[in-house]
Amino acid sequence: MFDSRDKVNAVFARLYAKHHKTIYSFIISLLPSASDADDVMQETILTMCHKFDEYDHGKNFAAWGVGVARNKILKFYEKGQRRKALFSEESLRILLERSTPVIHHFEERFLALEVCLRKLKEPEKNLLKERFVNNEKIVAIAKQQEKSLDALYKTYSRILKKLKLCIQSNLSGKKATL
Amino acid sequence: MSDANDNKISLFVSQLLDSSVDEKLLLELDRGIQDDPAFVDTYLDYMILYMGLEQCGSELHGELSDGEDVKSMMSQMIDLDQKEALEKKEAELIIRQKEIQAISQLRLEEYLKQQELIKNQIGFQGQRIKKAYSFQDQKWLTRILAACLVFAGLIWLIFQESSTVTVAKLTNSYQTKWAFEPDENLHDIEYYLLSGLAEIEFNDGAKIILEGPANFKLESANGATLNLGKLSARVPEKAIGFTVKTPNASIVDLGTEFTLHVKKNKSSDVYVFAGEVEISTENLSYRVNEGDAKTISSDGQSLHDIVFDRSLFVSNLNFSSSGQDHTSAYAKMVIDGQPLKYLSFHPDRMDQNRLLSDRGEIKPIGPSLGNNETNYALKFKSGLYDDSDYAGQLEFIPIDTLKETKQLSIVFWINPNLDTRQHSLTLIDFEHNSLEAIVIPTIGLTMKHLQHENEIEFSADFNCSNGASVGLDVINMELDPAVAWYHVVLTVSGHEFSMTINGNAKIRKSIDRTKIYHRKMNGIVLFPEGISSESVAHGAIDEVSIYDRVLSDKEIRQLYLSVRPK
Long-range Cβ contact pairs of A117-126 (< 8 A, separation 24 or more): A117/A163, A117/B56, A119/A166, A119/A176, A119/A177, A119/A178, A120/A159, A120/A162, A120/A163, A120/A178, A124/A159, A124/A162
**Given this model, what pLDDT does residue B420 score?**
59
The yes-or-no answer to whether A4-104 and A107-171 have a common fold is: no
**B53–A83 CB contact, under 8 Å:** no
Query: Domain coordinates of chain A in residue numbers?
Result: 4-104, 107-171
pLDDT digits (tens, 9 = 90+) for B153-212: 444 444 444 456 889 999 887 667 776 678 888 988 888 887 777 889 999 989 998 887
Provide the residue count of chain A.
178
Q: Is B30 on the interface with A (CB under 8 A)?
A: yes
Element (H, E) at B6: helix B3-16
Residue B551 binned pLDDT confidence (cut-offs 50, 70, 90)? very high
Query: Tens digit of pLDDT for each residue in B76-100?
Result: 443 433 443 444 444 444 444 444 4
Yes or no: is domain B166-312 CATH 2.60.120.1440? yes
Chain B residues with CB-CB distance to A137 below 8 A: 18
Inter-chain touch B389–A18, beta carbons under 8 Å? no
Pairwise CB contact (< 8 Å): A160 & B60:
no
Task: Please give the helix or strand (H or E) that residue A156 lies within, else none.
Answer: helix A149-171
Q: Using CA atoms, how far apart are residues B214 and B218, in angstroms rounded to an integer?
A: 12
- Contacts (Cβ under 8 Å, ≥6 apart) of B243: B219, B222, B223, B224, B250, B251, B252, B253
**Could you state, in order of their start, the residue ranges of all structural domains in chain B?**
3-60, 70-160, 166-312, 324-561
- Continuous H helices in A3-60: 4-30, 34-50
pLDDT for the residue numbered B218: 92
Chain B partners of A76 at a C-beta cutoff of 8 Å?
A: none
Give me Rg for the CA atoms of chain B: 28
Summarize the confidence of residues B438-461 as an average pLDDT.
70
Q: Which has more pLDDT, B469 or B351?
A: B469
How close B238 comes to chain A (CA, Å)? Answer: 34
For chain B, percent of residues with pLDDT exceeding 90: 7
Whether the predicted pLDDT of B259 surpasses 70: yes
With CB atoms and an 8 Å threshold, state whether A22 touches B18.
no
Q: Model confidence over B50-82: pLDDT tens digits?
A: 888 888 777 665 433 333 444 444 444 434 334
Q: Is the pLDDT of residue B135 over 50?
A: no
In terms of CA atoms, which chain A residue is nearest residue B45?
A: A164
Helices in B86-138 by DSSP H: which ranges?
86-103, 109-114, 117-123, 126-134
Task: Give the pLDDT score at B96.
Answer: 44
* Nearest-angstrom CA–CA distance, B126 and B28: 46
d(CA B457, CA B451): 10
Amino acid at B114: Q
Query: Cα separation of B400 and B394, whole Å?
Result: 16
Q: Kind of pairing, strands B397-398 and B521-529?
A: antiparallel
Choices 3.40.50.150, 3.40.190.10, 2.60.120.200, 2.60.40.10: CATH for B324-561: 2.60.120.200
Among the four given CATH numbers 1.10.3470, 3.30.70, 1.10.1740, 1.10.287, the one describing domain A4-104: 1.10.1740
- Nearest residue in chain B measured CA to CA from A60: B69
Q: In this structure, are residues B126 and B95 in contact, taking their beta carbons and an 8 Å threshold? A: yes
Q: Could you give the C-alpha distances from B231 to B1, B455, B471, in angstroms and in order?
A: 48, 50, 47
Q: What is the pLDDT at residue A33?
A: 82
- To the nearest whole Å, the CA of B29 is away from the closest chain A CA by 8
Give the Cα-Cα-Cα angle B494, B495, B497 (nearest 5 degrees): 95
Q: What is the pLDDT of residue B397?
A: 52
- CATH topology agreement for domains B166-312 and B324-561: yes
Do the Cβ atoms of A106 and B48 come within 8 Å? yes
Residue A19: phi and psi, rounded to 5, are -110, -5
Single-letter residue type at A49: C
More confident residue, B18 or B440: B18
Q: Tell me the average pLDDT across B331-336.
A: 82
Query: What CATH number labels A107-171?
Result: 1.10.10.10
- Among A5-19, A58-72, B505-519, whose mean pLDDT is lowest? B505-519
DSSP string, B420-441: SSEEEEEEEEE--SSSS--S-S
Q: How many CB atoms lie within 10 A of CB B137?
A: 12
- Are A12 and B64 in contact by the 8 Å Cβ rule? The answer is no
CB pair distance less than 8 Å for A9 and B114: yes
Interface test with B, best of A4, A157, A162 (most B CBs within 10 A): A157
